[in-house]
Each structure stands twice: as structure tokens, then as C-alpha cells.
Structure 1
Amino acid sequence: MKTMLRHCLLAELLGTAVLMIFGTGAAVVNEQTQTLGHGGIAAAFGLVVLILIQSLGHVSGAHINPAVTLGFWAAGRFPGRRVLPYVAAQVVGAFIGSFLVQLIATPGSALGATLPAHGSAQAFGIELFLSFWLMLVILRVTSSFYEQGLLVGLTISATVALEALVGGPLSGASMNPARSLAPAVLSGQLTAIWVYLAAPCAGVLLAVVTDRLLELKPAPPA
């Protein structure tokens, strides 16, 4: 039975808020205590994504990312009429989560905002590739041929954690416009915000094209 749109939107709003609470919340906790480290923050993002996929995936697909929603639509696997409502729910959820994180943050905290370490051009390239690879993994493991329940969530969350671990020090490893927008606005850290809005969208569209090139086709008769 097809899930009603309001249930899907609630799941996306709640899921994106929880992503912010535990993901960017880990960055804020580490800011104050220095107990998690960069590896701990990357692990927090991976773990919360796994939990959200397993708990909300059957309701809304657990996109929790406007770029992922765009990618599924471009791949022909998501109805166009649901794209804007999904994105709106994700953005609202991100702001709610980021506001709750702000309640525990010290004055002047960046709230886990993503910022370029070595300029906008490098950050754009990194975010483009990270978003491309994440979306390609999602498309491959959620295809009917490969999908295997829990392994889907484990593979996607491992990809998020790996990309956050390696790319985080350079670009913040956002891969998610809503995840970057909310803390940037609330903290006033709007430096190069266009990178974190444009690069993930471009990356997922490139992944859709690549996924089509990778589709297995029957061999022509001899």
C-alpha cells in the first residue's frame, strides 16, 4: 500500500531533524569537550544515517537530503509532484534540528556548519565527488537486483561515515544542502554556502548518468 504523503513528509522532517541533532550535535559536543574527535563525528553521522534508514526507510525512503530526492527523481524512481514537498520537509527538519543543537552550543559556535578549508573551488570539487559517489552507491544498492534489506542501510551509512572521515577536514563532507544551510543561517557562517547547495545537486545528477551507463543489458545474440 502506498504511504500517504503526510506520513512521508513527517518522516522526512523528523529524520532530517534527528540527523542534525546527532550529526552536527556531535560536532558541537566535540567543540566543547574534545572527546569525540573527527573520527567520532564521522561515526556519529554514519550511525544516525543507518538508524534512520532502518527506522524510517519503509515510510518515506529516508531520503533526509534534498539532493538525494533530486537524484531519485532524475533517475525516474520518484514522482515529480513529491519533490518540492519532500525538500520543504527536509529543510524545515534541518532548521528544527539545528535550532535544538543551538540550545546546547556555546556562544559563537558554528553549529557544525560546513566551511571550505582551502577555498571554494576545492570544496566544490570535493563535495561534487562525495555527493556523486554517495548517490551512485544509493542507486546501486537500492536497485531491485541488489537490494538486500539490512545490507542496504549498512552500505549507505558506511559510505557516509567514510566520506565524512576523509572529506570532512577539507570541505565538511556535507553532501546535503539542508544539512549545510540550517547551521549556516543560524550561526551566520554563510561563507561559500553556494558550494554546499550547488555541488551536491550537480553530483547526484552525475551519479544518475553514471548509474545508467552501468546498467546491465543482455548480450546480443551470437
Structure 2
Amino acid sequence: MVMMIYSVGPVSGGHFNPAVTTTFTIFRRFSWKLAPLYIIAQLTGSILASGTLALLLDVNSKSYFGTIPVGSNGQSLAMKIIISFLLMFVVCGVCTDDRAVGQLGGLAVGMTIALNVFVAGPISGASMNPARRIGPAIVKHVYKGLWVYIVGPVIGTVAGAFVYNLIRFTDKTLLQLVKSGPLIRS
């Protein structure tokens, strides 16, 4: 994912995730006119990639390349919300905040995704991207828990951006705030 962010980020804005696109649009970081086209492109890419995998590999129910809940839908939904929140919080911090070091944004996002996969993978497959789940579901007709992989990431990314924007109340860095005196005045 890090390579994709760096290679096509200048063209696509670096987001391949309909939940991120939706969140950027809600928070006016992306055009309302372009958002549907991006989401269609993201879903089309997922369907084409999934179709290619299905054609090239012998994919059966044991080797299904999509993600499905291992535990309950409720557990997976909670996990999706949490890891998508973390992903979007990091994206906001390193990719949309002018105070961030932009060249490292892709690495920070990629490492967040890797950590989220490591933690959430055993429960939910760790997909924070609805397109990542929708493409394989359409190609292989596996719809178990699909709604979890659409609803959870959207709630999580919107919440992550909202919280980041709440704490980003100043143009000063934390170091500048600390040097200027107590953060909370009595």
C-alpha cells in the first residue's frame, strides 16, 4: 500500500478507499462532484482485481481472498470502527495537516494499516476499505457480513476526521503551545 500511495498519490490524492473519499468529501477536502467518480473507480478497480485473481488462481471457499467476520458481526463492526478511526486520524495528521512532514505521510499511513491488520486481522480480516471487501464479494458471491465492511469503515473514518479536527484547534504546534505557557489557565 505504501508503494501505491507514493506512486499514484500525486494523481489520485493517494486515497483508494471509498470510506476515506467519503470522509474527505464530508470535511470539504475533496470535491462533491468528483467523489462519486472516485468511488466508482475504486469499486471498479476492486472488482477487476478480484476478477483477475479468480481467473488466475483456483479460488474455492477455503482460499477465498476476501474478508469475512471470524467472530460475530458485532465484534467485527466494532473492530472496523476502531481501526478505521485510527487510520483516518493518522491520515488527517500526516496528509492533511499543513504542519506535518508530507514526504513521510505514505509511510505513516502504510505502517498504520500494517499495525491495524496485525491487531484486527484475526477477528475481522482487518479490511478498512469497503472496496477491498465489495470486489471479492461480487466476484465470488460471498456476502456474509458485507454490511459490516461498509458501515464500520465509514463510521470510523468520519469519527477519526472529526476527532482530529476537534483537537486541531490552533495553527501552533504542541511545542509552541507548551512554550507559550500553561495549556489550561486557572
Which bracket does the TM-score occupy, shorter chain normalised?
0.7 to 0.9
Q: In the alignment, does 2:158 pair up with 1:212?
A: no
1:184 maps to which residue?
137
Q: Is there any run of 5+ residues in structure 1 with no aligned partner, and where?
A: 1-48
2:13 maps to which residue?
61
Amino acid at match of 2:98: S
Amino acid at match of 1:102: A
When normalised by structure 2's length, the TM-score is 0.87
1:147 maps to which residue?
101
1:94 maps to which residue?
46
Q: In the alignment, does 2:22 pair up with 1:70?
A: yes
2-structure distance, mates of 1:65, 1:147: 22
- 1:44-103 CA-to-partner distances (Å, cap 9, x unmatched) read xxxxx1101111011111211100101111222111111100000000010011111112
- 1:149-197 CA-to-partner distances (Å, cap 9, x unmatched) read 1x11110001111111111111011111111011112122110100001
- 1:90-138 CA-to-partner distances (Å, cap 9, x unmatched) read 0001001111111232242454211111110000000011111101100
Amino acid at match of 2:128: M
2-structure distance, mates of 1:60, 1:148: 16
1:123 maps to which residue?
76
Contact residue 132 and residue 203 of structure 1 kept, 8 A: yes
2-structure distance, mates of 1:161, 1:56: 19
Aligned length: 173
Q: Which has the larger radius of gyration?
A: 2
Aligned counterpart for 2:87 among listed residues 134, 148, 160: 134
When normalised by structure 1's length, the TM-score is 0.73
1:195 maps to which residue?
148
2-structure distance, mates of 1:111, 1:135: 27
1:16 maps to which residue?
none
Q: Is there any run of 5+ residues in structure 2 with no aligned partner, and where?
A: none
